[in-house]
Chains A and B, each alone.
Chain A
Amino acid sequence: MDINPEDEISYTTQYQETFLKYVGNEYCAKHRHVTVNKLETVPSSNPVLSATVSGSYQSSFDAYDSSSDDEQYSLPNNVAATTPRQSDRAARLLTAARLYLNSPPEAPKTWGQIDPNLNDYHSDPMEITSTLWIPDITDWWRQQEETRSQYADLSNVAPDIFSIIPHGAGVEASFSLGRDVIGWRQSESTCETLREKVVIRQFAQPNNRILAGTEPELDTANTENDSEMKKDAEGRKLHRMAKVHDFLEMWQDSQNLRATQKESCAQNKQMTAVGFFSDMEEIVKASWSLFQHDGSAAFKLSERSPMPPALSAKDLPGGRTQSLNVRRIRRINRHPVTSNKDSAPESISDTDDCPNWNGDLDNPNASEDD
């Protein structure tokens, strides 16, 4: 039976029919050994039962547990003959089910359960566990059975259903699978490593621990410790694989980081060349053509910056600094004959530090001492 999602009424109708089929099959046809296709024997004086009989509950008998090996369920339909008393009991069960479905849901106040939200200080504090109050449904059904209410025939359905545990250990274990694979001290393991380890472990577990391999230390004759030893060997292999994988991933990351740094460095240089500010040291190469050869202009030039004021950034290549070699020569006395021997050292010492601006400054490496 499929539900049409566009039809909201069909939800409740089909769920209701599903519940009635469940009750009819599980409690009329199986538990009571009453075949529901024999419901024609129900007296037609009861209109509710007539409506019940009109629905055939044998079509989906195997839809629930056709693979069940229970002898009780494997009984053919004609094993237990339908007696009028059994038919009446089945009809009463279905009638109770229909009445139950057509009645509105119960309110907790109507049958005296303790509601802690009412601040009832005279109640037993042990029963007031928390503000999240869940009504006791099994107790409600027990009261229906004890008071022989109209739902008393239906009261044996609830304990059977509520005794089913809707969860299992396998589902619970899947939530703690990550902590089993990666411990608290393995914080640098990547999510990809975790995924691979889980996939390999889940694959190796039903395949007789094939990841452990055939190590000589494993004693195949000892079947008790074999699985534990294989599990340990598998864990060691997984750990080694994870370490290699993490190392390769870290190495690849470092290579990517290095390439990114190189690219950003080249981009930084390019940005400096077109006029952006940069933290890099700007090295200016001065040109010898900036200096003039006449003396007076040279001294005026010394008061200014060697760079022209409107020097564009394109003229700032990243070359090395070239210093100005200014040779110093001794002044020669014009009248060496009339000069005194004692005064000769003084004339030299006074002008010893004067630079010769008339020299060939464009070629500072050329020597004039020849």
Chain B
Amino acid sequence: MHDVITLYNDMFDHMDGVMHALAKKKTEWKEDLFFAVKLARHKLSKYYTNVTPTTGVLHMSAHIVDSFSKLRSFR
């Protein structure tokens, strides 16, 4: 439970890295992969923005209760 937001952040970082690596590639399959990762990130960000203090109280509380991260991931 406390890893949900951490996993979100890790996936965002990974997708950003892949998109940065594939941004200037001209090969067809690399362009397709770039487009697919872009759509995946858009879908994931759509879900992530729904985790607000009103709707994601348990996720945030679980992340804060993790004594090894606390509020560090939100900064």
Contacts and interface: CB of A to CB of B under 8 A. Distances in A.
B45 to A, nearest CB: 11
Contact of B61 (A2, A3, A22, A107): A22
A64 B71 CA distance: 21
Given A101-B71, A140-B67, A158-B65, A15 B54 contact: no
Contacts, number: 84
A190 interface: no
Best-surrounded residue of B2, B70, B75 (most CB of chain A within 10 A): B70
A15 B64 contact: yes
Nearest to B70: A105
24 contacts: A2-B53, A11-B74, A12-B74, A15-B64, A15-B71, A16-B71, A18-B61, A21-B57, A22-B57, A22-B58, A23-B61, A63-B57, A100-B67, A137-B65, A140-B67, A157-B65, A158-B65, A161-B61, A161-B62, A161-B65, A162-B65, A164-B1, A164-B62, A166-B59
B44 interface: no
B71 A108 contact: no
B68 interface: yes
Interface of B: 1-2, 4, 52-54, 57-62, 64-72, 74-75
Given A11-B74, A12-B75, A166-B1, A19 B54 contact: no
Interface of A: 1-3, 8, 11-12, 14-19, 21-23, 63-64, 100-101, 103-108, 135, 137, 140-141, 157-158, 161-162, 164-166
A12 B53 CA distance: 11
